[in-house]
Amino acid sequence: MKSIPYPLATRLAVLVLLPVIGGAAWLHHSLRASLPPEGTFQLTREVSAPVSITRDENGVPHIRATTDIDAFHAVGYAHAQDRLWQLELQRRLASGRLSEVFGKKSIDTDVWFRTLGLYESARSAWPALSPQAQRSLTAYAAGINAWIAEGHSLPAEFRVLGIKPEPWTELDSLAWVKVFALDLGGNFRREIDRYVARQALSEPQLTAFFPNYPADAPATVAAISGRPSAPLEALAQLQQQLETEHAIGGTNVGSNAWVVSGRHTRDGAALLSNDPHLGLQIPSLWYAMNVDAPAFKVSGMSLVGLPVVVLGRNAHIAWGGTNMMADVQDLFFERTDASGERYLAQGQWLPFSTRVETIDVRADFPEQLRRRYAPVTLKVRSTRNGPVISDYHGVFRQPVTLRWTALEAGDTSYEAFFRLNQARDWEGFKAALARHVAPAMNLLFIDRAGNIGYLGAGRIPVRRQGEGTLPSPGWDDAWGWSGQVSPSQWPQSYNPPSGFIVNANNPVANHDDPYFISHDWAPTSRARRIEYLLRQRIASGKGLTAQDMQHIQADTVDMDAAAMMSVLRKRLPRGEHASQAAEYLKDWNGDMRADSQAAAIFSVWMRHFRQRVFGAALQGSWEQQPANRILRGLQEDVPLDYLRTLAGESSARNGGSTWCDDAGTPAPETCEEALADSQKSALWELYKLKGDWSMASWRWDGVQRTAYDHTPFSDFKPLDRIFQRRIGNGGSAGSINVAASDFKGADGYLQKFGPGFRQIIALRGARTSHYYMNSTGQSGNFMSPHYDDMVVPFRDARFLTLDDAPAASGKPAAH
């Protein structure tokens, strides 16, 4: 082969290679310029006195300001430095403007958020806030906008998509509070599931998917004082889309949180542990920060979009939270007159409240060569119950409205967290949260004197009849809301005799309480395991430490899996590969740790067992495909304790004969046969995933991976390799170190739901120990070393210290 002549090679390098190299170098330098300065710098513009922002070695900002308003401004500035794309994305999601950037695929999402009218509700919330709370939001918005106005190089997402960030407003923050509430309180989907299931299943069969909660389940507080037909499937499908594409909502969205009194700890410090569970993404929803201002001395996790610490500590107390799982959304069928312009309400025909929304839709790629789409015009109707959420789909025989506490006028939820950041004691903690509306949350408390407490905070509706578990007739006041539970009647506990309080989305009160909260509690395995480990350590007499809390947060034992194995050990199938699998399972204790082959075999076996038993009954009819998707999805959430009933464990619930033990039931085989056949299917699936019958490679973390998706670049190759992160992981939906995963074919089991951060705080006297770990990293900019530097430590439950006085790196910079 002849070589290229030297002059030609030179010209090739000059004309082709050097421009490419130069362009790549320029692009790299330009993207690096979008990062904030390292070390300490002074914020001097638009503040009354210089404010220092010191980023520690993990990228966490430590803000020092002489006034609270300057501190709020600096928080906004820091959020914009690290999470500018996330702020832009959140605003567009809440306001229904994603289609302007992502095109027609986002129309349904935009229609949904325009219909909800989060900004309409936020406008009514603004005047309900105190002047101090309003000023904090104004200062925060000014801080974000100050960074934008300085003309810094923009992160890659803006460049690829060809857009620029818009100024942030106070209403953007208030609207994001409501998206957070939607994330934790989207139980209207459960109403639709029940409605569809009741059309296809018998009452005994429904118990598998909508069980009555066990009477002896752990309760956070011992006691508290004081149909018409319409196709709802399209709404459920839209909610599923939100879960998949934007990590909004999901089954058993919740958390772990517990507090331990100083009398049970080694040094007398009260301990708080918290790890909220939400849809996973990169960057994390959460942003760690430490702020030192006269009346705003806080440390912990903020939500990007808000200037306060949502879960963390101030100079006097610390607090953590979980989802209360409260039923705060109800669907109502509405009757209209012949014109469709009026709806029936208690015998009177009333006009709909209407507004027109226009959604601009970006042309397909390449945009310059495509015809621009015509804007989508949406007429949003509302009744006294709330917005009509069914109009867009055009398949309803009558309108369906949504009543939701977060859409009530005068929402003061932000005020609650603003005041919580300044609370000094238990009474101040309760007084601050009395203003909380949505999402309904379990808030746990410790102080420097070793006290502990719990308060279930948030607006809980009082229904005249029924429990809101199915859509109700909106024209009849007998099915409406008569008010709300008074904050004085909210579930609460202060220094209980046990010396600890636990909540893992289990019931917050007993069954004989004076008002209804929910039927949709999470399974009890996490709460039971936390209580067991706490009691075990207390009984040792050594005194609990923050390190003990770290070990508990990392625990991967699933107590329901262990109980299921007590039944399965007697029924392990025989055969070449089945016998090998049985060797892994026979002494397994339910520990879903990452390196366990038994955890992988058990998890896959139980998925196939669910399919085998429930699949036939959940097929539905061919012409009802949307309903069929809902029915098929139900089987994934059948709890292990119900499967244990089917597999032979004695129980008060007579589930076995309903499904597979008697002739003529939906399944064509007995439960014994279903167990044997499903294990064969599971082993074959694992072989196809791993390609190794020796089973040595069948570790759970080789089958299950945690997926941190990026919006929107996880959907585009090869950008997904740059922006998305995946990592093998252990855990299960029932372990404290939670990992709720779904089977995704060749990708194996992907966990897209789990803890967004971990936090442990110890308070005693003047001493504070604060440990934390964010799920991905502090920065949302993929050029930053802090974009993903916490992915592996977080998986391994290794903790960092959030000190008041950080060790800064880099040279001081002035602004």
pLDDT along the chain (815 residues), means of 10: 59 59 63 88 96 96 98 98 98 97 94 96 98 98 98 96 96 97 83 82 84 58 41 62 68 82 97 95 97 97 98 98 94 92 95 96 82 92 95 70 96 98 98 97 97 97 91 94 95 97 89 80 94 97 97 98 94 83 95 98 96 81 63 85 79 52 58 90 95 92 97 93 97 95 94 95 96 97 97 97 68 40
465-470-474-477 Cα dihedral, nearest 10 degrees: 0
Q: Are 208 and 441 in contact (CB under 8 A)?
A: no
Instruction: Establish whether the linkage from the previous residue to 283 is cis, with ω within 30° of 0.
Output: yes
Going from N- to C-terminal start, the domains of the chain cover 559-591+597-698
Specify the pairing of strand 749-755 against strand 740-743.
Answer: antiparallel
Q: Which of 491, 436, 484, 490 is nearest to 462 (CA)?
A: 484
Neighbours of 651 (CB within 10 A): 14
What's the pLDDT at 30?
75
pLDDT score, position 392: 73
List, as one string, the DSSP characters of 559-596: HHHHHHHHHHGGGPPPSHHHHHHHHHHTT--SB--TT-
Encoding tokens for residue 368? 């310059």
Whether this prediction's pTM lies above 0.75 is answered by yes
Rounded distance, CA 233 to CA 245, Å?
18
Distance CA 521, CA 324 (A): 8
CA distances from 664 to 222, 660, 667, 670 (A): 44, 9, 8, 11
Q: What is d(CA 698, CA 686) in angstroms, rounded to the nearest whole number?
A: 7
Per-residue model confidence (pLDDT) at position 195: 82
pLDDT for the residue numbered 239: 65
* Closest by Cα among 403, 360, 395, 358 to 379: 358
Is residue 45 within 8 Å of 143, Cβ to Cβ?
no
In the prediction, which pLDDT does 205 show? 84
HEC letters along 601-665: HHHHHHHHHHHHHHCCCCCCCCCCHHHHHHHHHHHHHCCHHHHHHHCCCCCCCCCHHHHCCCCCC
Enzyme catalytic residues? 255
Q: Is 100 annotated as a binding residue?
A: no
DSSP state of 475: T
Interatomic CA distance for residues 441 and 254, integer angstroms: 9
191 is in an annotated binding site: yes
Q: According to the annotation, is 183 in a ligand binding site?
A: no
Strand, helix or coil for residue 737: coil
> How far is it, in rounded angstroms, from Cα 686 to Cα 749?
11
pLDDT computed for residue 31 by the predictor: 81
CA–CA dist 250, 244 (Å, integer): 9
**pLDDT score for 224:** 36
Confirm if 142 and 73 have CB atoms less than 8 A apart.
yes
- CB of 139 within 8 A of CB of 170? no
Neighbours of 528 (CB within 10 A): 18
Classified by CATH at the fold level, domain 559-591+597-698 comes out as 1.10.1400
Q: Could you tell me the CA-to-CA distances from 777 to 59, 91, 121, 477 in Å, in that order?
A: 8, 21, 32, 50
Strand arrangement of the beta sheet that strand 376-383 belongs to: 353-359, 376-383, 386-387
Residue 411 near residue 121, CB atoms below 8 Å: yes
Residues 799 and 808 sit within 8 Å (Cβ to Cβ): no
Q: Please state the separation of Cα 631 from the chain's center in Å.
A: 23
Whole-angstrom Cα distance, residue 568 to residue 555?
23
